[in-house]
Structure formats: structure tokens, C-alpha cells
Amino acid sequence: MAQRIRLRYTKRGRLRFTSHRDFQRAFERALRRAEVPMAYSAGFTPHPKVSYANAAPTGTGSEAEYLEIALTEPRDPHTLRELLNESLPDGLDITDAVEARTSGLADRLTASVWELRLDGVAPAEAERAAAAFRAAGTVEVQRRTKNGMRTFDARPAVVSLDVLAPEALASAADRPTDRPCAILRLVVRHATPAVRPDDVLSGLRAVADLAPPVPAAVTRLAQGLFDDETGTVTDPLAPDREAATAAPADRHPHQGEAAPAAAATAPVPEGPA
């Protein structure tokens, strides 16, 4: 194995309903079309060496999904990102690519920032429910699993739950119209059992009887390590960029200039995708 590349990708628009298995198939087709020199597993049915980390549930959008690929020949990450985007459908977009120079990408995905758009819910009603959730010592919710209904406490994993003002949203298209609409910003730790946005919505219904008339539009805005001092979710690819800056430049025949370094904190857009 000559090189490992870590990619950040999105699930936008109607592509949020793409299952993880469907994304895997689309991504592997893009790898073949882009003629990426993939490393393969051993055995009777070899598969491209692709490691997926903490994929978002089907039906939710995301600006911050991550995976890692293993190559048999080195490639420039920026060029590789452009080639893959030419072969992926709109909505599944590679937004960042770095050479893996550190270990433990999955270990750096310990928290997520989510945005929940609640059409038909007034912001004041959402704020009342969010305040009740924050004040609760425990928020028991139920989730159906393959072994039946499971009850667990969703409160400890929730770091923050806030209602955004309409003027805080990124674009006019995202802002509520004359119809009631509340936007929630949620930061949740990746705990066991995993607490998902729909669990928090169940918790809001349990503690404050909040029941949106239509399903919430949910988007993951960021995921990475949670910084207790700043209260932010940091960019999980930042250590690889820092390692690349500190190390002498690799002189691979297929590599050009490295992609520009990005900020150490994961970008958090001000509105759902």
C-alpha cells in the first residue's frame, strides 16, 4: 500500500435518501471511472480498501461524512478529489481530501453538529420545548431495534440544543416564510447507545409535547472531536494537514502541489443543505 487518502463528502438534496449501501456502490463506480489505483482486499472476492466512518442515517442530509481509501500508487489529493467529483452524481460531492499521515480517523469522530428544520412549528414553541429538554435530568426515549423496543436516556449525549433566529440562516431560501418554522441547532456526543436527531425529537415530544406536523429536515453540519474548552466540534482532518506541513514534502511522481491548508475547526454552515 503506497498511500492512504481521507475524504470528506456530502449528501445533499434528494441524495439524502440514499442508503449507505447505495452510496458505496456509487462511490466504487466513481473510483473505477476515475481510474484510481485502488488497493484491494485478499481472498476469493476482493474489494477496494475503503473505510467508512460513522455514516449518517438514511433520510438525513450531511455536509460532513468521512471515508478513507488505500492506493497502490500515490496521487495528489486535490486532483483525486476533482476526478471523483466528475464521476459522482450531484449531491454526493467530495469537499475535502488529504493524505493520511496520522492514525485513528474514526477515533476523532466523537461528536456531531446537527440542524433540524421544523416546518409548522413556531420558534417560541420550539424554544419552550428546547428549554424543557435542557432542564431535564433524564429524557427517556424508545427506539425500535431488531430485538424489539429499547428504552434509553437521550439527555447525557446532548451537549447543546438551541433555536436559531431566522436572520442567522445562511440564505433567504433557508429562512422561514410567513408560515411557522423553527430551526434547531444540536450538538451531540457519539455515545453508546448512539443518540440520533430523531431520538432528540422523541425527547422533545416526551418532555414538552412538541410534535411537528411534518417530518423534520435534518442535516449534519460537522463531526469531529468535541473541544470542551471552546464548545466546538473540530476538523478531524486537521492533524493530517498539520503533519504534512511539519514533514518534508513527498516527491511522488504523480503528486503536485498540496491542497491549501484549512482551518482547524470544522466549518459549520448557517443553514440546512
| 259 is a domain residue | no
Res. 249 pLDDT band, cuts 50 70 90: low
Q: 156 and 195: one domain?
A: yes
Closest CA to 28 of 95, 87, 72: 87
Q: 195 and 216: one domain?
A: yes
pLDDT digits (tens, 9 = 90+) for 209-235: 999 999 999 999 999 999 999 989 999
Q: 25 and 115: one domain?
A: no
pLDDT over 50 at 1, yes or no:
yes
Task: Provide the Cα torsion 167, 168, 171, 175; round to 10°.
Answer: -60
Give the per-residue pLDDT at 173: 46
| 81 is a domain residue | yes
Q: 177 and 90: one domain?
A: no
Q: 72 and 12: one domain?
A: yes
pLDDT digits (tens, 9 = 90+) for 165-192: 766 654 444 555 578 899 999 999 998 8
Check which CATH number belongs to the domain holding 67 and give it: 3.30.70.580
pTM equals: 0.84
| 71 is a domain residue | yes
| 253 is a domain residue | no
Q: 1-19 b/e with 16+ CB inside 10 Å = b?
A: eebbbbbbbbbbeebbebe
Number of domains in the chain: 2
> Using an 8 Å Cβ cutoff, are 80 and 5 in contact?
yes
Q: Which three cell numbers stand for residue 15?
A: 441524495
Structural domain of 196? 111-227
pLDDT digits (tens, 9 = 90+) for 59-114: 999 999 999 999 999 999 999 999 999 999 999 999 999 999 999 999 999 999 99
| 200 is a domain residue | yes
